[in-house]
């Protein structure tokens, strides 16, 4: 099939998917500046700042109808979430966010008051996390709303944590609980469909406050980064969970060349998530593995840190890194080995799995 330029064959983007396309477009990048420490390949770019610190930079592009649905996303929540998920990338490098730059493309569907509401969420998040808005750009859109957020942070050179640092035998840990954001999305989508079928039916969101907040107003785990430093625990690798535990665990495995065994019985899943998963006839562990948008921190630590970390309230040890020959598996509750698969959100696949959230940078 021609793409309109002679007989050059046409390859559909969906054949590659998001991560495949990123790999294709970036595989020939050669870094030219000594100040560029790390480019594509982690949660943020890493640049030389001074003798003691690196600068961290990350960008997300959010598109209406792909990453968020205006029919059930409050504008203030949208602004808040848009910047917080970028802060999460910087915390995943063991760093601290300092500034954000905001880009917005908006149509005349939106009033000035609506745009101000989005910015009220942005400013609230920046106030909560001690981050400055330092610039940006606003332009017209033919229809959909686009938000582009660039976050800038810093980290001491001795503290920086990449995806690639894990070693065989390291413990795999995760903060908080998993799967709630995806369950919140399912509730919102169900009520949207009910309303579209009968506009006289009011959405029933009662009893779902926790999972809805996890979807609409997530928080970055600044507290976990601070806790690890207080306990003198330096993660050997780290990533934030945006695409689902399985997908993001596989990112760490690919960067380290290692295998992993995770244990289903160890996965932290809130009771509210379990109840909604049962309602939708989904295994809670499947929601935790593939749902995405939890923005919890997934990290590895040395076995020597076991005593320090085993009793931390907001951290759960869920597995360990292995030699690649042992595979990359979830050990189910009945002892079976289930191969981990990247089935989370992929914005460029037709058959999308997981949650339409901010895709993890590769």
Residue 233 lies in a domain: yes
Same domain, 151 and 182: no
Same domain, 142 and 205: no
Q: What pLDDT does 342 receive?
A: 84
State which of 126, 156, 186 marks the end of a domain: 156
pTM to 2 decimal places: 0.88
Please give the tally of structural domains in the chain: 2
With vertex at residue 123, the alpha carbon angle to CA 115 and CA 133, rounded to the nearest 5 degrees, is 100
Same domain, 128 and 246: no
Q: Average pLDDT over the chain, rounded to whole?
A: 90
State which of 133, 156, 179 marks the end of a domain: 156
Residue 147 lies in a domain: yes
Residue 9 lies in a domain: no
Same domain, 229 and 146: no
| C-alpha span between 76 and 68 (Å, rounded) | 13
Same domain, 204 and 332: yes
Q: Which residues of 189-210 are buried (b: 16+ CB within 10 A; e: fewer)?
A: eebeeeeeeeeeeeeeeeebeb
pLDDT tens readout for residues 56-83: 999 999 999 989 999 999 999 999 999 9
Q: What pLDDT does 21 receive?
A: 59
Residue span of the structural domain in which 46 resides = 35-156
Same domain, 145 and 197: no
Residue 76 lies in a domain: yes
Q: Among residues 337, 305, 302, which one has the least CA distance to residue 321?
A: 302
State which of 132, 156, 180 marks the end of a domain: 156
Same domain, 250 and 321: yes
Residue 348 lies in a domain: no
Q: Are 330 and 247 in contact (CB under 8 A)?
A: no
pLDDT tens readout for residues 130-180: 999 999 999 999 889 999 999 999 999 999 999 999 999 999 999 999 999
> To which residue do tokens 């981050």 refer?
131
Ordered per-residue pLDDT tens for the chain, 362 residues: 445 555 677 877 676 666 565 666 656 767 778 878 877 777 899 999 999 999 999 999 999 998 999 999 999 999 999 999 999 999 999 999 999 999 999 999 999 999 999 999 999 999 999 999 999 999 999 889 999 999 999 999 999 999 999 999 999 999 999 999 999 999 999 999 998 999 888 888 989 999 999 999 999 999 999 999 999 999 999 999 999 999 999 999 999 999 999 999 999 999 999 999 999 999 999 999 999 999 999 999 999 999 999 999 999 999 999 999 999 999 999 999 999 998 754 444 454 433 433 333 43
One-letter-per-residue 3-state SS of the chain: CECCCCCCECCCHHHCHHHHHHHHHHCCCCCCCCCEEECCCCCCEEEECCCCEEEEEEEEEEEECCCECCCCCCHHHHHHHHHHHHHHHHHCCCCEEEEEEEEEEECCCCCHHHHHHHHHHHHHHHHHHCCEEEEEEEEECCCCCEEEEEEEEEEECCCCCCCCCCCCCCEEEEECCCCHHHHHHHHHHHHHHHHHHCCCCCCCCCCCHHHHHHHHCCCCCHHHHHHHHHCCCCCCEEEECCCCHHHHHHHHHHHHCCEEEEEHHHCCCCHHHHHHHHHCCCCHHHHHHHCCCCCCEEEEECHHHHHHHCCCCCEEEEEEEECHHHCEEEECCCCCEEECCCCCCCCCCCCCCCCCCCCCCC
Same domain, 179 and 122: no
CATH of the domain at 326: 3.90.650.10
Tokens of 305: 């840190």
């Amino acid at each position: 099939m021609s793409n309109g330029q002679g007989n050059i064959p046409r390859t559909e983007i969906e054949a590659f998917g998001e991560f495949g396309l990123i790999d294709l477009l970036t595989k020939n990048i050669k870094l030219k500046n000594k100040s560029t420490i790390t480019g594509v390949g982690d949660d943020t770019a890493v640049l030389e700042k001074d003798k003691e610190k690196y600068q961290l930079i990350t960008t997300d592009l959010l598109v209406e109808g792909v990453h968020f649905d205006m029919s059930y996303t409050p504008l203030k929540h949208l602004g808040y979430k848009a910047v917080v998920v970028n802060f999460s990338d910087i915390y995943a490098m063991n760093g601290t966010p300092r500034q954000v730059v905001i880009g917005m493309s908006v149509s005349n569907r939106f009033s000035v008051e609506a745009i101000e509401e989005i910015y009220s969420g942005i400013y609230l998040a920046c106030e909560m996390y001690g981050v400055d808005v330092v610039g940006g750009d606003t332009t017209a859109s033919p229809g959909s709303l686009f938000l582009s957020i660039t976050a800038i942070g810093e980290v001491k050179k001795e503290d920086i944590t990449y995806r690639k640092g894990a070693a065989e035998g390291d413990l795999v840990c995760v903060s908080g609980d998993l799967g709630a954001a995806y369950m919140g999305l399912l509730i919102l989508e169900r009520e949207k469909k009910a309303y579209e079928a009968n506009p006289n039916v009011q959405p029933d969101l009662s009893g779902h406050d926790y999972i809805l907040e996890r979807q609409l107003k997530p928080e970055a785990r600044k507290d976990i980064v601070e806790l690890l430093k207080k306990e003198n625990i330096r993660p050997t690798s780290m990533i934030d969970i945006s695409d689902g535990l399985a997908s993001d665990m596989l990112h760490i495995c690919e960067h380290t060349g290692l295998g992993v065994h995770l244990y289903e019985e160890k996965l932290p899943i809130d009771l509210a998530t379990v109840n909604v998963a049962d309602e939708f006839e989904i295994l809670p562990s499947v929601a935790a593995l593939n749902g995405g948008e939890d923005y919890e921190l997934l990290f590895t630590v040395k076995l020597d840190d076991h005593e320090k970390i085993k009793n931390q309230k907001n951290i759960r040890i869920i597995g360990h890194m292995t030699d690649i020959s042992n595979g990359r598996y979830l050990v189910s509750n009945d002892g079976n080995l289930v191969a981990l698969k990247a089935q989370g959100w992929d914005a460029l696949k037709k058959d999308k799995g997981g949650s339409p959230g901010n895709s993890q940078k590769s």
